[in-house]
Structure 1
Amino acid sequence: MSGTKVDLDTLRAAIKEYEAIYLELDKAHDTGGALTAVQPAGLDMPSKVYNNWAVTAGAAHQKSNEQLRNTLKTRIENLKATLTQYEETEQGNKDNLKPRD
């Protein structure tokens, strides 16, 4: 058995921070949808080229944001599961140490 100690308050704080970051990324994803819907200023070639570049860049940013959100969501879920496991173990240990009548 290892001597690893988990500070549950630090774990809870980390989860809150990750959730706040996730919400910011979610907002950015919602507003970033406009980046993928850029329309050309005109029918001339430079406008079409700029439009293609803008839409491609916007789509790349949206994809990157989505990948990061998915990774972060998985991390949050894993940390919450770890926290729950430690809390249940800690409560079980306390219950086992209570004097029996």
Structure 2
Amino acid sequence: MSGTKVDLDTLRAAIKEYESIKDELMVAHQNGQVLTTVRGAGRDMPSQVYANWAAAAGKAHQDSNKQLQDALVIRIDNLKATLAQYEQTEHGNQANLKPKD
């Protein structure tokens, strides 16, 4: 035994919080899609340079958001697997402690 104690309610709360953050990032990603389609105010070179820079910056933010979403999905899946394993172990332990006839 490693001596590590896992509070299943805290683990469930962490999963719920991570899922909430992921959902907020998904909404931000959808709303931020317009940041990747910035157009220049005119056909002059400064407007075009600004538009290209702004679109590139918007894409970078979108890419970063997506990477964070992907990392959260992996973390959530790992936490859910851990929770399921602990619940299964806990259920098995309770069954083993019941008196046998």
- Shorter-chain TM-score category? over 0.9
* Structure 1 residue aligned with 2:87: 87
Identity rate of aligned residues, in percent? Answer: 68
CA RMSD of aligned residues (A): 0.6
TM-score, L = length of structure 1 = 0.98
What is the distance in 2 between the residues matched to 1:85 and 1:71?
21
Report SS of the residue matched to 1:64: helix
Q: CA deviation at 1:73?
A: 0.6
Establish whether residue 100 from structure 1 lines up as the match of residue 100 from structure 2: yes
Letter of the structure 1 residue corresponding to residue 82 of structure 2: T
* Structure 1 residue aligned with 2:31: 31
What is the distance in 2 between the residues matched to 1:36 and 1:2?
49
Q: CA deviation at 1:90?
A: 0.1
CA-to-partner distance for each residue in 1:23-70, whole Å, 9 max, x for gaps? Answer: 000000001110001111110011101101100100000000010000
What is the distance in 2 between the residues matched to 1:72 and 1:25?
10
* Structure 2 residue aligned with 1:17: 17
Letter of the structure 2 residue corresponding to residue 16 of structure 1: K
What is the distance in 2 between the residues matched to 1:74 and 1:3?
26
Aligned length: 101
Question: Which runs of at least 4 in structure 1 moved beyond 3 Å after TM superposition?
Answer: none
TM-score, L = length of structure 2 = 0.98
Q: CA deviation at 1:95?
A: 0.3
Letter of the structure 1 residue corresponding to residue 13 of structure 2: A
Q: CA deviation at 1:81?
A: 0.5
Structure 1 gap ranges (5+): none
What is the distance in 2 between the residues matched to 1:79 and 1:2?
19
Q: CA deviation at 1:79?
A: 0.2
Structure 2 gap ranges (5+): none
